[in-house]
Chain A
Amino acid sequence: MSDVARTFSLNAQWELTRLRRSQRIWLLLIPPVAGPIGSAVADLYLHVPTRATAQILGLLIAGGLAGLILLDLVALAVGEDLTLRAHVTFFALPQSRRTLLAGRLTVVLGGAMASYGLSAVLVWFASAALVAPNPLILPIFDPGHLALAVPGFLLFLAGVTAAGAVFTRTASQGLVAGVLAGVVVAGLTGYLLAFHELTALFPVLLAIAGGGAIGWALDRYPTLGA
């Protein structure tokens, strides 16, 4: 195994150990459990008129829950060591600091995405089971598009949170940056929706921006020992 792959794998395992020992790993169960339940309750009690609208509602709940968990996990994966000054120990070990962070981020980002994916699938089928289709009422957009757009949004949140944690060298400030970014995106989405300008380009741009922010965080992280 190459040095890079080895460091990546060891730090991914270390992140799993951290998630397990801190009990944060249980957070990943929230979207697949609370998403379908919340969605079903809304479907039944709000008398959602169509299956597609119910699916949109459910996906928003699943995406929102996954987003909140992602913010927490990414902020701590990047910023907890910096806040506690524990990074001094890990930076003085024979390993690439950039790969170290990549390994940790992959676990939390992958975990949150998987959690969203599972939640989305469950929500999709729960809505289909609970709400009858109504071809006369059109949803505001195709729920399938939303299902694919949410990962772009999650990647954006992860990027802003990681970059915020690196920039401020704290987990809490990274979390605040991520929350603010989420609010801005929600507002912008509403604006674009109101003016019928919401296209597939929007989540793609979010994903690109998130990827760029993660790249920036990976680039800057090794210099934080100073």
Chain B
Amino acid sequence: MPPGAIEVERATKSYGARAALREISFSITPGQAVGYLGPNGAGKTTTLRLLAGLDRPDSGSVRLLGLDPVRSHDSALRRVGVLVETPGILPYVTARDLLSHVARVKRVAPSAEASQLRDLAGKLGFLDQLDRPIGSFSTGLTRRLLLAVALVGDPEVLLLDEPTLGLDPAARADLRHILRELRRDGRTLLLSTHLLDDVEEVCSRVLFLRDGQIVGDEAVELRPVDGAGNPLRSLAIRFARDVAEAELRAAVGAGIEVEPRGPRDLRVQFVGDEERQAELVATVVRSGLPIVTVADGSPTLGQRYLERVGREDPP
């Protein structure tokens, strides 16, 4: 079996008495885009630091493209782009100075260096700022520059920690577009973020982290299935008055799962296509139950985040 692009096996990391990671394990196959979600202090940045070779696990192992990022630092990181934490940048150097240095360290061919820097700066919207000192950049522009640093050398794997932090909505949308393109090109992405929109738009899989432990590993577009593995459709129905579960169950008949979500809110789940769904809604209307709204009842990523991780940040 070929090695995963990213493999973490029972990795543990503590800082003093505080356990930042507790035996976490996951594997990401080449080409997969994975969101890494969790509250502050859950261990997201620690995981990325281990993968970037900035730190080593107390026990367990981490591997990038089959290599240990600490022992085989140079080989492992040659094909990897990293944006971890919010690194400072020397204010007096220009963006071109920094990107050019990174390109040389990453062994970008001298003939391709200038065009690659221009392309990256163009994509990320700072082409006309390439020769300005970085100290004059706004927070958002600095973030885009740091992302460009990670993208230099056309890396196979990208480890990105809050890449859209500090960006305005338009810049965030542009960046998400770039990340989607990278995913389409077959790049492996591990995207640590607080922003669920970013994960929903870019990633196919999501890992939930809480208190240094993986508490969920699932597809971003999760469709619930019945006992036989058939995909379930889910509708959230709001009524104009209180409706008992039994009342709705009597209206829709057998084979439909009914779940109360509130006095006037119920969710129904069933196996079937869009026609079956339209038929079901018509049946409820014909039964005389006063429907106000019908919406997709599949749990959103936000709801799943709250279910897995909870509302509170860890102590």
A21-B93, A85-B85 as given contacts; A94 in contact with B73, CB under 8 Å? yes
B76 contacts which chain A residues (CB < 8 A)? 94
A134 contacts which chain B residues (CB < 8 A)? none
A17 touching B87, Cβ below 8 Å:
no
Interface residues of A in 84-103 (CB under 8 A from B): 84-89, 91-96
The CA-CA distance from A100 to B82 in the complex, in Å, is 18
A3-B74, A85-B85, A94-B74 as given contacts; A18 in contact with B149, CB under 8 Å? no
Total count of chain A residues near the partner, CB < 8 A: 27
The CA-CA distance from A91 to B73 in the complex, in Å, is 10
Query: B49, B78, B90: which contacts A86 (Cβ < 8 A)?
Result: B90
Listed stretches B101-109, B207-215, B229-237, B304-312; interface member = B101-109
B85 contacts which chain A residues (CB < 8 A)? 85, 88
A21-B94, A22-B92 as given contacts; A89 in contact with B54, CB under 8 Å? no
The CA-CA distance from A123 to B93 in the complex, in Å, is 35
Please give me the residue from chain A that is nearest to B51 by CB atom.
A92
Please give me the residue from chain B that is nearest to A96 by CB atom.
B74
A84 touching B88, Cβ below 8 Å:
yes
The CA-CA distance from A10 to B107 in the complex, in Å, is 11
Interface residues of A in 29-69 (CB under 8 A from B): none
Tell me if A's interface is mostly helix, strand, loop or mixed: helix
Cβ-based interface call for A226 (8 A) = yes
A7 touching B105, Cβ below 8 Å:
yes
B84 contacts which chain A residues (CB < 8 A)? 88, 92
A85 touching B88, Cβ below 8 Å:
yes
Query: A3, A10, A17, A85: which contacts B93 (Cβ < 8 A)?
Result: A17
Query: Across the A-B interface, how many residue pairs have beta carbons closer than 8 Å?
Result: 79
Cβ-based interface call for B174 (8 A) = no
A84-B89, A85-B87 as given contacts; A92 in contact with B82, CB under 8 Å? yes
A3-B74, A225-B54 as given contacts; A93 in contact with B90, CB under 8 Å? no
Interface residues of A in 154-178 (CB under 8 A from B): none
A7-B105, A92-B77 as given contacts; A86 in contact with B89, CB under 8 Å? yes
23 contacts between A and B (CB under 8 A): A10-B101, A10-B104, A10-B105, A21-B90, A21-B92, A80-B90, A84-B88, A85-B86, A85-B88, A86-B88, A89-B149, A92-B52, A92-B54, A93-B102, A93-B105, A94-B73, A94-B74, A94-B77, A94-B78, A96-B74, A225-B53, A226-B54, A226-B55
List 11 additional A-B contacts (Cβ < 8 Å) besides A7-B105, A21-B97, A89-B146.
Answer: A17-B101, A21-B93, A84-B88, A85-B88, A86-B90, A87-B87, A88-B85, A89-B149, A91-B52, A94-B78, A225-B54
Please give me the residue from chain B that is nearest to A85 by CB atom.
B88
Cβ-based interface call for A202 (8 A) = no
A17 touching B53, Cβ below 8 Å:
no
The CA-CA distance from A92 to B73 in the complex, in Å, is 9
**What sequence of 0s and 1s flags, for each residue 52-92 of chain B, a beta carbon within 8 Å of any chain A beta carbon?**
11111000000000000000011111100010111111101
The CA-CA distance from A135 to B129 in the complex, in Å, is 65
CB proximity of B291 to chain A, nearest CB, Å:
55
Please give me the residue from chain B that is nearest to A7 by CB atom.
B105
CB proximity of A17 to chain B, nearest CB, Å:
5
A93 touching B93, Cβ below 8 Å:
no
CB proximity of A225 to chain B, nearest CB, Å:
4
Cβ-based interface call for A216 (8 A) = no
A225 contacts which chain B residues (CB < 8 A)? 49, 53-55
**What sequence of 0s and 1s flags, for each residue 156-177 of chain B, a beta carbon within 8 Å of any chain A beta carbon?**
0000000000000000000000
Interface residues of B in 113-153 (CB under 8 A from A): 133, 146, 149
The CA-CA distance from A17 to B94 in the complex, in Å, is 10
A96 contacts which chain B residues (CB < 8 A)? 73-74
Please give me the residue from chain B that is nearest to A97 by CB atom.
B73
A88 touching B101, Cβ below 8 Å:
no
B56 contacts which chain A residues (CB < 8 A)? 226
A94 touching B88, Cβ below 8 Å:
no
The CA-CA distance from A7 to B75 in the complex, in Å, is 14
B55 contacts which chain A residues (CB < 8 A)? 225-226
Interface residues of A in 201-226 (CB under 8 A from B): 225-226
Please give me the residue from chain A that is nearest to B94 by CB atom.
A21
